[in-house]
């Protein structure tokens, strides 16, 4: 592959994995919204979900424009995300927020890696760079909000965050390929 083809391949990978991630986020929030009882938390989750929908819409448009194939694992992102959201919300609000915190921490790091790559290898991708930067800032805000809602960390809460973080990292790796 030439450098251009390598860069094109990497751009398609980024868009595919970001699209899969935003689908997963939608379904995590959907699962949480089905279970959470607190009207205040429900309103916040709906707001976060709406922001993630903006991200999803952007990547869906990029997929169409650039002819990027979606992840073949759409059903996994849908049902896995929904199950993760519902399970964490059933465990309690602190676990629902721990889920958001853990997922957003991984995604923020993932977006940072993408921004570094784009700045180095494809600085002409102004629109994509700008969008990912904005979405990274949104994800950081979601992370910080969730972290502020947390009580002092207990061992089960710490274990839940670690497990969710590992699941999210695995999902990112898989979505890059499949």
The domain segmentation of the chain, as residue ranges, is 3-177
120-161 pLDDT, tens digit per residue, is: 888 888 899 999 999 999 999 989 888 888 777 788 888 998
Can you name the CATH fold of 3-177?
A: Ferritin (1.20.1260)
Evaluate if residue 38 carries a pLDDT over 80.
yes
Q: Output the pLDDT for position 6.
A: 64
Show the tokens assigned to 143: 């992370």
């Amino acid at each position: 592959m030439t450098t251009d083809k390598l860069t094109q391949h990497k751009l398609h990978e980024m868009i595919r994995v970001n699209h899969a991630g935003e689908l997963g986020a939608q379904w995590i929030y959907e699962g949480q919204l089905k279970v959470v009882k607190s009207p205040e938390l429900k309103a916040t989750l709906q707001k976060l979900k709406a922001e993630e929908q903006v991200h999803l819409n952007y990547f869906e448009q990029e997929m169409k424009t650039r002819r990027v194939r979606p992840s073949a694992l759409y059903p996994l992102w849908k049902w896995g995300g929904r199950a993760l959201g519902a399970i964490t919300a059933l465990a309690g609000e602190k676990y629902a927020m721990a889920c958001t915190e853990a997922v957003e921490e991984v995604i923020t790091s993932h977006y940072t890696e993408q921004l570094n790559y784009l700045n180095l290898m494809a600085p002409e991708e102004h629109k994509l760079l700008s969008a990912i930067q904005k979405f990274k800032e949104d994800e950081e805000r979601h992370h910080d909000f969730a972290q502020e809602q947390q009580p002092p960390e207990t061992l089960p809460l710490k274990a839940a965050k670690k497990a969710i973080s590992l699941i999210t990292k695995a999902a990112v790796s898989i979505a890059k390929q499949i």
